[in-house]
Amino acid sequence: MDFATRIAAWQQRHGRHDLPWQNTRDPYRIWLSEIMLQQTQVGTVIPYYERFLGRFPDLHALAAADQEAVMPYWAGLGYYARARNLHRCAQVIVSDWGGRFPPDASAIATLPGIGRSTAAAIAAFAYGERSPIMDGNVKRVFARHFGIAGDPARRETEIRLWALADAQLADGAGQAVDMAAYTQGLMDLGATVCVRGKPRCERCPVNETCIARRDGRQAELPTPKARKASPERRTGMLLLQHDGKLLLERRPSPGIWGGLWSLPEFDAGLDAAAACKALGAAPGAVFELAAFSHTFTHFRLHVRPWYVVVSQAPAALERPWRWVDAAGAADVALPAPVRKLIDGLFAAGLPQDVMAPAA
């Protein structure tokens, strides 16, 4: 039996069948799941997926919404460019495709934020199209099974992996394969059997032809990326409290946390009271909160947060800004670490004098 047929047959017997985005051919629902699942685990995605669909049940509901209304349904999932592209994409489908999802993988791949693999997955699940996928998990399966060395993120390795993926569906191979089962099978195999650490080769449907298994090279394939030290950045954050409310600023888009609400930032080396005055606010009590770090794809951010009770609110700021109480904060899209910080402060009742003042 060929590679694709073995994977599809395995998926039908042993794969996952009850995920909320399975058992539908609606490209909107499939597309949403594929975008949410990029760099994010299934268990994390499920509640977000259901909440998102509850608010935006179809493409037209999403296209008609303001981006501002979409972000709270993504806040906490990270990689916010995905949400902005999703929204833009819905508007493009309405304006350029008459509100109908494009009919094949190559047309889907022209939409904002949709790469070749995601387009192929949507087309396979929605239309049964014979287009191969090649996401991170699938690269691992292919690199091991076909014994392909080289960093899979490098162009030349990627070209070889895509060529192999095409070959599994070329004339004579995988001719009668159920594309939805094959595509899901590759995903399931990468997520549950051919896993990053120790693959469970004894349960693998393609173990008899696997080169990594034959040669005992599972640990060295795929070739790990050459590690570069992640750059470090530092910032100060101001939690300005006035009249029981905290000041939020909307982050510029595109950019880190673009389109989300966050706290005003300032140069971490500067004095918080001075940063406060620079915003036009009159600082009263100033407290330093516990510092924390957050890892982004390309750098690590170290944050020094300062809680400042202001006697006079700033008159105007460059970016859109708003004052929120606890209920207001619950309604806006905040990055996960900022959400944690703000919720902690509101839970403590916006203290006036219980914290040790900054030295």
Please give the residue ranges that form the binding site for ligand SF4 (CB under 6 A).
Answer: 141, 144-145, 193-194, 199, 201, 204, 206-207, 210, 212-213, 218
Q: Which residues pair with 302 in a beta bridge?
A: 234, 293
Distance CA 13, CA 103 (A): 30
Residues identified as active-site: 34
Q: Cβ of residue 137: shortest distance to ligand SF4, in angstroms? A: 11
CA distances (Å), 265 to each of 3, 247, 251, 257, 290, in order?
A: 53, 11, 10, 13, 16
CB of 208 to ligand SF4, least distance (A): 8
Nearer of residues 6 and 251 to ligand SF4, judged by Cβ: 6
Q: Which two tokens stand for residue 156?
A: 């030349």
Q: How far is the CB of 134 from ligand SF4 (least distance, A)?
A: 15
Sort 236 into a burial class: Cβ within 10 Å, 0-12 / 13-18 / 19+.
buried
β pairing state of 232-242 and 300-312: parallel
What is the nearest approach in angstroms of ligand SF4 to the Cβ of residue 31?
28
Amino acid at 251: R
* Rg for the chain, CA atoms, rounded: 24
Cα separation, 315 vs 275, whole angstroms: 15
Quick check: 53 and 64 in contact, CB under 8 A? no
Which amino acid appears at position 124 of this protein? A
Amino acid making up residue 133:
I
Which residues are CB-contacts of 308 (< 8 A; sequence separation ≥ 6)?
Answer: 238, 239, 240, 241, 272, 273, 276, 281, 283, 284, 285, 286, 287
